Amino acid sequence: MSEAHLLFVLLAAAGSLISAVFGFGTAIILLAGGALFLPIQECIALSTIIFAANTLNKSWIHRRHIDWRLTIQMSLVSLPFAWLGAELMVQVPVDWLRRGLAAIVILHILLQFLKSRPSFTPKLPAVIGISGLYGFLSGLIGTGNIIKALFLDRAGFERQSFVGVMAATSVLANAGKLYSYSLSGLFGPQHLLPAFALLAVSVVTTLAGRHLLTRISGQQFKIGLRLILLVVAVSLLVT
């Protein structure tokens, strides 16, 4: 394994542990940090390996807390859009898109602090729109979880349900991205060992995250979630 790939695996371990507790966060660490020593397209492709493993592991661990009806709806809608975004990844400049996402996140956080609003019940048109946008961004820039996180946070999902739905709704989209990236030639023999290391990291961090998640309160979870959203927004602005 090359030094760059080893550093990537170590970054993945840190990001994966955060994601195991708060539902997301791996992407921003891997895509921002990994791009410092790997080409961005290779970074996105390798990141998707641990995304896929994490979503499967967390879906199983939190299966009893998952809203499966909502999960199936979001998964089926997001899949074709994830494939479309992945197909366009090598062709579309995404700097403007990153900054737009950052603005949305910052606005969401400000609204949460300025005024307490009741949660809402997700309706099918909103689910379709959010799922399509999540899938497309996931394929195009490597992650769309920020869109789902805003949606589920606004809907009032609690700790295990939030983490479980975030994971389960990503399973099909990640599978579609992996397939598209493999057809595009983004994976080669040099990625075999890093891939196995990423799978091992996923199992260990998911189990550790489950342990930590049961030991934090709902309020601590909300605070941590908003801090991660803020870090994501700042990172999108500066990368």
pLDDT band, very low/low/confident/very high, at 101 (cuts 50, 70, 90): low
Match 């991205």 to its residue by tokens.
177
Beta strands, E only, the chain? none
175-196 confidence digits (pLDDT tens): 888 888 888 788 888 888 989 9
Q: What is the pLDDT of residues 20-53, one digit of tens each?
A: 887 777 777 777 778 778 887 888 888 889 989 9
Could you give the CA distance from residue 5 to residue 2 in angstroms, rounded to a whole number? Answer: 5
Residue 68 pLDDT: 92
Per-range mean pLDDT, top range of 28-42, 69-83, 130-144: 69-83
Split at pLDDT 50, 70, 90, the class of 1 is confident
Of the candidates 68, 55, 2, the one whose C-alpha atom is nearest the C-alpha of residue 27 is: 55
What does the pLDDT read at residue 41? 80
List the one residue out of 25, 43, 30, 7 whose CA is nearest residue 231.
25
208 burial level (CB within 10 Å; 0-12, 13-18, 19+): middle
DSSP assignments along 160-171, one per residue: HHHHHHHHHTTH
pLDDT at 114: 54
Give Cα separations from 74 to 10, 127, 133, 165, 225 (angstroms): 31, 6, 10, 10, 21
pLDDT in the model for residue 157 = 83
Most confident of 15-29, 38-52, 57-71, 209-223: 57-71
Give the Cβ contact number of residue 78 at 10 Å. Answer: 32
Cα dihedral 205, 211, 214, 217 in deg (nearest 10): -70
Q: Is the pLDDT of residue 117 over 70?
A: no
Residue 198 contacts by C-beta under 8 Å, 6 or more apart in sequence?
9, 12, 46, 49, 50, 53
